[in-house]
Structure 1
Amino acid sequence: MGSVPPFLLRHTVIVEPYEGEGPFGPAFGASVVVACFVDDKRRLVRAPTGEEVTSESTFYAPLNTVCPVDSRVTVNGRETTVLASSRRDGGGLPTPDHLEVALQ
């Protein structure tokens, strides 16, 4: 199968990839419009620090999407932050490879 079939990527989000801390706070890369599938469902996710946090939305995007933890994302007109970003790569198996991104 390879990647997520394009007909499933019905939504778009704007991603500003987190690039680290600068002298004036967080630094972000240029904004990119990403075709994806958005699931507005509240769920618990594990943050990189190990704590459980509540995610309000999750989006599923092509595997080559750059969207690390702490990136800024605008979804449905709401600006939010990435809590967790997980690569779902089947390693050549017939799976829909994608990036799963949990949003604050």
Structure 2
Amino acid sequence: MVNAVPPFLLRHRVVVEPYLGDTAYGAQYGAAVAEVPALVAEQRTMIRDATGRAVTSTAQVIAGPDLVCPVGSRITLPSGRVTTALAVARHTAPGLPVPACCEVSCE
């Protein structure tokens, strides 16, 4: 069993629409998952996207390690702003007493 981030730390709720891929009609998204527990920080941070290009992330979302949110997914933040996942990092430390989590850097 994974030692996940404690639920009491995840004070916000976000909506995640997982990115499924592109079609002839544009981006395709899966069913929206509402009320995902998360910790959200809306601040500007420089990150590297999936292509290695330096981009600005305007929000960072920390959620449980089982979050399904591929790069390109749509996320509705607690403020109501809809954004896109630029990078997803899964943090684990097997054997260490620290919690596992999923960090999503948003556009």
Q: TM-score, normalised by structure 2?
A: 0.93
Structure 1 runs (4+) greater than 3 angstroms displaced: none
> Is the contact made by 1:2 and 1:92 (CA closer than 8 Å) also made in structure 2?
no
- Secondary structure of residue in 2 paired with 1:100: strand
Q: Residue type of the partner of 1:81? A: T
After superposition, where does 1:10-49 map in structure 2 within 5 Å? 10-33=11-34, 34-49=36-51
The match for 1:83 is 86
Deviation at 1:91, TM superposition (A): 2.1
The match for 2:57 is 55
The gaps in structure 2 that reach 5 residues or longer are none
More strand by share: 1
Count of residue pairs brought into register by the alignment: 104
The match for 1:66 is 68
Give me the CA root mean square deviation: 1.1
The gaps in structure 1 that reach 5 residues or longer are none
